[in-house]
Amino acid sequence: MFRQSRLLTNKISIRRLQIQQRRNIKLSANTLSGLRSYGPIVNGIAAVYAGGLIVTLGSLYFLYKDANERQKIPFELTFQDQIEAVKAVNKDDVLQKPRYAVKHYRKLLFNLAKEVDPTLKEENFGKYEIPIIDAETLVFKKSNKFSNFYIDLILRYSKALLAKGELDESINTLRKIIDNDLIFYKLGDAERLSESSRMLARVYQNPKDKIDALERSIDMLSHTYSSIQLNKDYTLKDNSKISDELINCLNDLAFQFAKESQSSTLKKELLNQSLAIYLSNLKTLSSIQEKILSKTSNQMHYPLYNVSPENLEFQISSIKAHIAEILWAQNYKQESIQWNEELLKDLYYKNATSSNLNQVLSKSLDNLINSYAILKKPQDIERCQDLKKGVKKFVATGKVDDNGTSDWYESIVRKWSTIIYDQGPLGIILKPLQERYGPGQKSRELEEIEKEDEV
């Protein structure tokens, strides 16, 4: 009986407590009305927060998407490594400041190497020295996408070092890839590797090293693409396919032969070698140009070479200019002048349409003026000098597409990137507001924000 009475008392107490709690949290009509008046403010704050979040995520995704289109970033990378890759590619390609990408490239390369060998310690390497993942691991243990990305990353790092003035470190890094037969012949993008080998040839001091690097690159391309067929003197066979990089390598090799002839006892042989390569390339490209203009062929028939009319005209004109120089060196003076006069006739009224054609025309005019000066023909000298006054002057403004197809996109990416580095992602909406309601401020460049080697 006592227990029942006690239980009843407890129930009553709990009931009273619940009633009291309900009364304690009950809001008056005035209070509720006051809270409702703050509703628009709360909704506004929530909208601003959500908008800021959307802009932030959208801006960062835009940078990632742009970097990934320039350089495929594999998902095998950790999130932090992907961030480093985006920063490096963005500063290198978009802002055109490779010196500021060096630290990101180096950090990322160290992180990737440590995943393979955790015992690596950064303090055991020089300031710009990097560890290289062994070729067997890249070929047999990593995906093709990762291996291609890794090789591209090293090549990008080497170019960034070169822009920074670290010539020796750039050469040493490049040679670790180029001199490795397993990597050079079986791994990575052949065109990109060949491009890097050409760059290595340009920075070598010894002419023999330059020629060897170019010949090695051409041999690699012919091994990679069975459709490329060359004679022993590096002239193209009639049924050979070509690629952009192959033509560039052959032209560079011909140029090196011509340059070496100036100080060699084998001057005649070297000039003949150079002329043979240039004439072979000219024959092949002229045939392609004729087919493209007559619409009997198109880009699909030449998957490795850019057959746009602009590119073909520039390549053909550039080769003709070099042929004219070789003919002059071989003492065929009238023939050399005829080639330059032909270029003058073809390019003079086109020089304003392309900076590349403009450069070829300017060089040909200079050669004509010098040639007529040697031959003592003042009237022709005066004619060429007058024509040179009408040549358009191009001012270098960074990476500009002659076709003008992507200028607007490059401008937007560059502007957004500059704003994000200066004010953060929200700067995308803050900067227009500042300019709308107050004095506009120019976004700071990277030089004003950070040091080149800041870790």
Q: Residue 353 pLDDT > 90, yes or no?
A: no
Classify residue 65 by burial, with Cβ atoms within 10 Å: 0-12, 13-18, 19+: exposed
The pLDDT value given to residue 405? 43
φ, ψ at 144 (rounded to 5°): -60, -40
The pLDDT value given to residue 211? 95
Q: Residue 350 pLDDT > 60, yes or no?
A: yes
Per-residue pLDDT tens over the stretch 96-126: 999 999 999 999 999 999 999 999 988 889 8
CB atoms within 10 A of CB 111: 15
pLDDT mean over 80-89: 94
Confidence of residue 436 (pLDDT cuts 50, 70, 90): low
When mean pLDDT is compared across 188-192, 289-293, 320-324, the lowest value belongs to: 188-192
Q: Residue 138 pLDDT > 60, yes or no?
A: yes
How many Å apart are CA 148 and CA 142, to the nearest integer? 10
CB atoms within 10 A of CB 87: 21
Q: Residue 16 pLDDT > 80, yes or no?
A: no
Q: Residue 394 pLDDT > 70, yes or no?
A: no
The pLDDT value given to residue 86? 94
Per-residue pLDDT tens over the stretch 163-199: 998 999 999 999 988 998 888 988 878 888 999 899 8
More reliable by pLDDT, 454 or 145: 145
Confidence of residue 76 (pLDDT cuts 50, 70, 90): confident
How many Å apart are CA 212 and CA 169, to the nearest integer? 20
Three-state SS string across the chain, please?
Answer: CHHHHHHHHHHHHHHHHHHHHHHHHCCCHHHHHHHHHCHHHHHHHHHHHHHHHHHHHHHHHHHHHHHHHHCCCCCCCCHHHHHHHHHHHHHHHHCCCHHHCHHHHHHHHHHHHHHHCCCCCHHHCCCCCCCCCCHHHHHHCCCHHHHHHHHHHHHHHHHHHHHHCCHHHHHHHHHHHHCCHHHHHHCCCHHHHHHHHHHHHHHCCCHHHHHHHHHHHHHHHHHHCCCCCECCCCCECCCCCCCHHHHHHHHHHHHHHHHHHHHCCCHHHHHHHHHHHHHHHHHHHHHHHHHHHCCCCCHHHCCCCCCCHHHHHHHHHHHHHHHHHHHHHCCCHHHHHHHHHHHHHHHCCCHHHCHHHHHHHHHHHHHHHHHHHHCCCHHHHHHHHHHHHCCCCCCCCCCCCCCCCCHHHHHHHHHHHHHHHHHCCCHHHHHHHHHHHCCCCCCCCHHHHCCCCCC
Classify residue 357 by burial, with Cβ atoms within 10 Å: 0-12, 13-18, 19+: buried
State the average pLDDT for the chain.
85
The pLDDT value given to residue 58? 80
How many Å apart are CA 9 and CA 2, to the nearest integer? 11
CB atoms within 10 A of CB 255: 18
The pLDDT value given to residue 392? 77
- Count of all residues that appear for the chain in the document: 455
Per-residue pLDDT tens over the stretch 401-411: 444 446 788 88
Confidence of residue 75 (pLDDT cuts 50, 70, 90): confident
Query: Hey, CA dihedral for 433, 436, 437, 441, is it positive or negative?
Result: positive
The pLDDT value given to residue 172? 92
Top mean pLDDT of 50-59, 161-170, 185-194, 424-433 is at 161-170
Q: Give bridge partners of residue 12 from the DSSP assignment.
A: none
pLDDT mean over 227-239: 94
